[in-house]
Structure 1
Amino acid sequence: MTQSLVGVGFAVLAALAFAAQSLAVRLGTRTRSITEVIAVMFGVNLLVLLPVAGASAYPEYGLTGTAVAAFAVAGLLGSLLARACYFVGIERLGASRAEPLRALVPLFALGAAVLVLDERVTPVLLLGVALLLAGAVVVSLDSRAAPGTESGRQLLVALAFPVAAALFLGIDPIFTKIGFADGTPVLVAVTVRVAAAAAGFGLYLLWRAMREGGVQPIGVNRWLVAASVANTVYLLSYYEALARTPVTVVTPVLSTSTLFVIGGAALFLRKDERVTRRLVAGALLVVLGVVFVVRG
């Protein structure tokens, strides 16, 4: 019971860090591209994780072939594909509207956990997930009426990016749990995850450089650094939560980031985004859903 409560605490911390990252990305993309955001984020992730994990786990890193493969797949899904999709969603929709769509993660995570990990689902848990989804739907409807956003097919494409991020993030914990089954320490697991995702991103940059005939310079601003630090805290807290608590609890609790993002947007992004009553209603549905998920 104590371990589960500690896991929920880490999940809440991860949600706060994720929200801080999202707001910083929104501010950073005023002057920098998504590619630059991701490149700086991987750089900061590895700068922090490699020496800390190397020193803390030496000489036994607890890695097996299965664990490395599992954490690498989780990284490609969650730290590369989901990250790219989500950041594009923030750029096109705004943080306050992209984030609730990313909160669809519990839908995909619940299905994957039941099918692959054979985790238990209760009616209360299902009610919580339903409320989370209802909140996401409300915010999606609000996106259609928001001034300055795209419309028609362009809006559907924009909405698809954070939903795709939710799909990748929903599958990601399954591989993480498989990796933890071999006893890998959290710091080592996160480092393998990020290194695999960074390698995949490096291959993308190499392909782009060959296509465009040169390497494009990477610019940095304070918001990109802030987003990268917040992302590192998020990853560590997220893995600490998964190491202690079932996927069906961790992923819905992470959805409280929706409330934090909307609150942060109302305070810090007034020039970029308009927080409406409908957005607030959607956030409250998410919070209520989390309450039921934790009880379930």
Structure 2
Amino acid sequence: MTVSPIGSTGGGDFLGVTLAAFAAALVATQAICIRQGSREGRTTNALVVVLAVNVAVLTPAAAVTYFPAYSLTPLSVAAFAATGVVGTILGRACYYASINRIGASRTEPIKASQPLHATLIAVLLLGESVSLGHLAGIVCIVLGVAWITRETTRDRPAGGSERKWLWLMFPLGAAFLYGVEPTLAKVGFREGTPLLVGLSLKTITAIAGAIAYLQWRGVDINRPSLNSPSTLWFTAAGIANTLFLLTYYAALELTDVVVVVPIIQTSPLVIAVLSWLFLPRLERVTWQVVAAASVVVLGAGTVTIYG
């Protein structure tokens, strides 16, 4: 691991940080929509609906904008297809299942351990460097995650302690999978593949893989009614997620993984506030949850300053 001294960011880095902050707000919006929709709908339907929105928006935009040259290479195709499998299918499946089981306000802070995985992988595979301040920020994130994990296992009303720890595998699994994804995306971008083309390939791979997997498992994919409240919430989540992908991947084009990914982890505090405002019957947002989310945000802020 290479540790660099504290330094300043350039214009591209500043724009990348700004886009990452917007992406964090969109993550929070998506989580609240998924939580609302999962009251009556299934998380498998949420995954398919959100992916369908991704494909419907991104693919035509990429096809028209870059026709006829899409700047794809075998390596970029493999890299972006891998992001679809790792981040979009497996990562989202864990993420949505976690929101359904332990709530958005607890899922997001636990998932905030993502920078640990993303930073280590980026340093090892991409040769990126981290500053001492950056490492301090990651320590704050870890402490916040540990705190929120403790609160989750203490106050969940149903099930024994073993069941509670099993629930935590969902957000922790999402954190690892989401941590792998940005390095794969950077590999694709280094091949010269444009943002929209890469995202389109990612989402097409994801929806095809998700549907094939669900059919192989014999899971019935209900054809959602357009008037169903859960479908409307899942569609809203899809719109938020599509905008998130655009801002997130644009940030990755402009600055390093080790800067962008931790900034996304400001979302837990936003989710805690939104859950308290809009989900009082579904989410029990305690002062401990808010405090733990604040520690995570402090860590992300430290990364922004010293990254």
Q: Which bracket does the TM-score occupy, shorter chain normalised? A: over 0.9
Q: What is residue 71 of structure 1 aligned with on the other side?
A: 80
Give the counterpart of 1:27 among 15, 36, 60.
Answer: 36
TM-score, normalising length from structure 2? 0.92
Q: What is residue 245 of structure 1 aligned with on the other side?
A: 255
Please tell me the residue identity of whatever aligns with 2:208: A
SS at match of 1:121: strand
1:151 matched to 2:156 = no
CA distance in 1, matches of 2:223, 2:46: 9
Q: What is residue 243 of structure 2 aligned with on the other side?
A: 233
8 Å Cα contact 1:4-1:244 kept in structure 2 = yes
1:148 is displaced (CA, Å) by 2.9
Give the counterpart of 2:119 among 110, 127, 135.
Answer: 110
Please tell me the residue identity of whatever aligns with 1:108: H
The CA deviation string for residues 149-203 of structure 1, in whole angstroms up to 9 with x for no partner, is 5431111110110000000011111111100001111111111111111121021
Of 86-95 and 199-208, deviating more is 199-208
**Structure 1, gaps ≥5 residues long:** none
Q: What is residue 222 of structure 1 aligned with on the other side?
A: 232
CA distance in 2, matches of 1:73, 1:122: 29
8 Å Cα contact 2:156-2:164 kept in structure 1 = no
CA distance in 2, matches of 1:12, 1:135: 19
8 Å Cα contact 1:144-1:151 kept in structure 2 = no
**Structure 2, gaps ≥5 residues long:** 1-9, 226-230
Structural RMSD (CA) = 1.2
Q: What is the aligned length?
A: 292
1:51 matched to 2:56 = no
CA distance in 2, matches of 1:255, 1:44: 24
8 Å Cα contact 2:44-2:221 kept in structure 1 = no
Of 196-205 and 238-247, deviating more is 196-205
TM-score, normalising length from structure 1? 0.96
1:216 is displaced (CA, Å) by 4.0
1:208 is displaced (CA, Å) by 2.9
Greater than 4 Å deviation, 4+ residue runs:
none
Give the counterpart of 1:191 among 193, 200, 205.
Answer: 200
Query: Residue 148 and residue 50 in structure 1: after superposition, are their counterparts in 2 closer, same or farther (change >3 A)?
Result: same
Query: Residue 77 and residue 98 in structure 1: after superposition, are their counterparts in 2 closer, same or farther (change >3 A)?
Result: same
What percent of counterpart residues are identical? 38
Q: What is residue 162 of structure 1 aligned with on the other side?
A: 171
Q: What is residue 266 of structure 1 aligned with on the other side?
A: 276
Please tell me the residue identity of whatever aligns with 1:256: T
1:276 matched to 2:286 = yes
Please tell me the residue identity of whatever aligns with 1:293: V
Q: What is residue 92 of structure 1 aligned with on the other side?
A: 101
